[in-house]
């Protein structure tokens, strides 16, 4: 469903504003790369080399099409995956490192800012809710 939303949005933007297939392909490939490698360190230089584009051009294109930078997209992917791991009972510190964050403190701060509760509180609620549904 998320993929279809993005594709619909890309098509809408393409028909309204842009008609450059290469730009669209570059942005889609960059997003797919980040989606598949969200747990790795992201360097704009590396990403732009893979897309045969300058890093500044890639950054502008990505922001134009998605409204966020590649790094912000990566952070969102990491946080979404961390929710899945926490729901499955993975420890907070282990989750932090598995999704690619370097420090549990920064992970907890980002998680709380994004979801309104700490990872441990989220995990307790998820486990409690899961046990009630059984």
- Residue ranges per structural domain of the chain: 2-67, 75-133
Taking 80 as the threshold, does the pLDDT of residue 16 lie above it? no
- Position 8 confidence tier, pLDDT thresholds 50, 70, 90: confident
Distance between CA 76 and CA 38 in Å, rounded?
A: 9
Lowest mean pLDDT among 6-15, 48-57, 90-99: 6-15
Q: Domain 75-133: which topology? A: Arc Repressor Mutant, subunit A (1.10.10)
Average pLDDT over residues 118-127: 93
What is the pTM assigned to this prediction? 0.78
- CB-based burial, 74-110: b 16+ in 10 Å, e otherwise: bbebbbebbbebbeeebebeebbeebbbeebeebbeb
When the pLDDT of each residue in the chain is averaged and rounded to a whole number, the result is 87
């Amino acid at each position: 469903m998320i993929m279809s939303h993005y594709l619909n949005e890309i098509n809408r933007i393409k028909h309204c504003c842009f008609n450059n297939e290469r730009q669209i392909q570059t942005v889609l490939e960059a997003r797919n790369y980040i989606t598949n490698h969200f747990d790795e360190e992201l360097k704009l230089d590396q990403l732009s080399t893979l897309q045969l584009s300058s890093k500044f051009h890639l950054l502008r294109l990505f922001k134009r099409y998605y409204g966020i930078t590649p790094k912000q997209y990566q952070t969102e992917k990491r946080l979404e995956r961390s929710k899945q791991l926490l729901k499955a009972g993975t420890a907070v510190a282990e989750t932090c490192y598995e999704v690619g964050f370097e420090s549990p403190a920064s992970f907890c701060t980002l998680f709380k800012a994004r979801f309104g509760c700490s990872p441990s509180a989220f995990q307790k609620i998820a486990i409690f809710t899961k046990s009630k549904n059984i």
